[in-house]
Structure 1
Amino acid sequence: MRFRNVLSSLRRLSFSQMASRVEVSRLMHPDDANLGGNVHGGTILQLIEQAGWISATRHCNTLRNAQSTSPVTTGLARLEHVDFLRPMHIGNVALVHASVSYASAHSLMVSVHVESEDVMRARKETTNRATLWYVAFPLEATREGVWKAAPVPPVPELSDEEERHGREMYLMQKQDRETPPHRDMDFDASEMTRMNAKQYSVSYSVSSLSHGVSPSDCVSSDGPAQGGVLMKLMDTVAGMVAFRHARTSVVTASIDAINFYKPTFRGEVVTVSGRLIFTSERSMIIQVAVISENLVTGGKKMTTNAYFTFVSLDRETRRPVPVPQLVLETEDERRRHAAAEARYKAAKARRGKSAA
Structure 2
Amino acid sequence: MNEAARPMSRSRSIMTELVFPTDTNHHGTMFGGTLMKDIDKISAISAMRHCGRPVVTASTDSLDFLAPIRLGEAVELEAFVTWTHRSSMEVYVVVRSENLFSGDRRVTCTAFSTFVAVDENGRPVPVPPVIPENDAERKLYDSAPERYEQRKKRRSQRYSSPE
What TM-score, normalized by structure 1, do the two folds share? 0.41
Q: Identify the structure with the greater strand proportion.
A: 2
Q: Which has the higher helix share?
A: 1
Q: 1:293 aligns with which of 98, 110, 132?
A: 98
Q: Which has the larger radius of gyration?
A: 1
Cα distance in 2 for residues equivalent to 1:260 and 1:314: 34
Mind listing any 5+ residue stretches in structure 1 that lack a counterpart? Answer: 1-197
Q: In the alignment, does 2:19 pair up with 1:230?
A: no
1:80 paired residue number:
none
Indicate the percent of aligned positions where both proteins have the same amino acid: 37
Q: How far apart are the structure 2 equivalents of 1:325 and 1:346?
A: 20
Aligned partners of 1:227 and 1:353: how far apart in 2?
26
Moved over 4 A (4+): 352-355
Q: How many residues get paired?
A: 156
Report deviation, 1:296.
1.7
1:91 maps to which residue? none
TM-score of the superposition, structure 2-length normalised?
0.87
Give the residue type in structure 2 aligned to 1:260: F
Q: Distance in 1 between matches of 2:5 and 2:39?
A: 23
* Alpha-carbon offset, residue 352 of structure 1: 4.2
Q: Does 1:347 align with 2:151?
A: yes
Q: Which residue of the other structure, out of 109, 124, 127, is the alignment partner of 1:320?
A: 124
Confirm or deny: 8 A CA contact 2:5 2:129 kept in the other structure. Answer: no
Map 1:1-356 to 2 at 5 A.
200-220=6-26, 223-315=28-120, 317-352=121-156
Q: Is the 8 A contact 2:61 2:113 kept in 1?
A: yes
CA contact (8 A) 2:43 2:113 kept: yes
Alpha-carbon distance change, 321 to 304 in structure 1, aligned in 2, over 3 angstroms: same
| C-alpha distance in 2 between matches for 1:278 and 1:352 | 21
- Give 1:329 deviation, angstroms: 3.6
What is the distance in 2 between the residues matched to 1:281 and 1:199?
13
For residues 100 and 133 of structure 2, the distance between their equivalents in structure 1, rounded to whole angstroms, comes to 35
Cα distance, 1:349 vs. partner? Answer: 3.8
Secondary structure of 1:337's match? helix
Counterpart code for 2:39: M
Shift of residue 330, structure 1, vs aligned partner: 3.7
SS in 2 for 1:257: strand
Q: Structure 2 CA distance, aligned partners of 1:243 and 1:207?
A: 10
**Unmatched 5+ residue regions in structure 2?**
none
